[in-house]
Amino acid sequence: MSYFAHKLSDVQSENIGIKTTIWQFVVILKHAIVGENCNICANVLIENDVKIGNNVTIKSGVQIWDGIIIEDNVFIGPNATFTNDIIPRSKQYPESFEKTIIKKGASIGANATIIGGNNIEKYAMIGAGSVVTKPIGKNEVWIGNPAKHVGYITNEGEILDLQLRSKKLGKTYKWLNNKLIID
């Protein structure tokens, strides 16, 4: 085994990447795919139709349901919630579950809720406790319930306002080749 799985975890999948760490009380179902160098914290459930990229951190108390794809370098905060059934009813299942993609480098804060079918683009940031009810664009920052677009974030983590000004440094950024750079 080229990954670490705590003895109190239940890892049914054979598709776990090297250097991944899986902590206690984690359940990973048989057909799930988990990439390399991931950190899957305690009390996480990962269903079958799930694909997780490399260098992903999933903090405690998160459930990754069927239909969710998490790309490389994503951070999922503690107790973040994903849905995959827009009209859930007990013992009634949709023909297919909603698909949600969390793109490369995105961060989802603690206790955020992502409603199924709403993709989160590269390097976007969702604030703690936010409820995402619509798709989130590249490098966008969203907070609140329902979540509202309040600014941007560079790939390196610098928070910008809606006019692309750095809140910390006061510098202005611009888009160049689909990336935020200092103007």
- Over residues 20-43, the pLDDT tens digits come to 999 999 999 999 999 999 999 999
Instruction: Report, as an integer, the average pLDDT of 73-97.
Output: 96
pTM greater than the 0.85 cutoff: yes
Q: Half-sphere exposure of 116 toward its Cβ, with a 13 Å CA cutoff?
A: 17
How crowded is residue 12: how many other Cβ atoms within 10 Å of its Cβ? Answer: 12
Tell me: pLDDT of 158 over 90.
yes
Tell me: pLDDT of 1 over 80.
no
**Cα–Cα dist 147/125, whole Å:** 11
Q: Which stretch of DSSP H or E encloses residue 159?
A: strand 159-160
Q: What is the pLDDT of residue 169?
A: 84
Per the prediction, the chain carries an average pLDDT of: 97
pLDDT band at 133 (very low <50, low <70, confident <90, very high): very high
Q: What is the pLDDT of residue 166?
A: 94
Q: What is the pLDDT of residue 170?
A: 86
On whether the CB atoms of residues 37 and 52 are closer than 8 A, the answer is: no
Q: How much of the chain, in percent, has pLDDT values that exceed 90?
A: 95
Token pair 């983590």 is found at 157
- Over residues 112-123, the pLDDT tens digits come to 999 999 999 999
Q: Which stretch of DSSP H or E encloses residue 57?
A: strand 57-58
Q: Which two tokens stand for residue 74?
A: 């994503």
In terms of C-beta density within 10 A (0-12 exposed, 13-18 middle, 19 or more buried), how is residue 89 classed? exposed
Q: What is the pLDDT of residue 167?
A: 80
Q: Which two tokens stand for residue 62?
A: 């998160």
On whether the CB atoms of residues 146 and 164 are closer than 8 A, the answer is: no
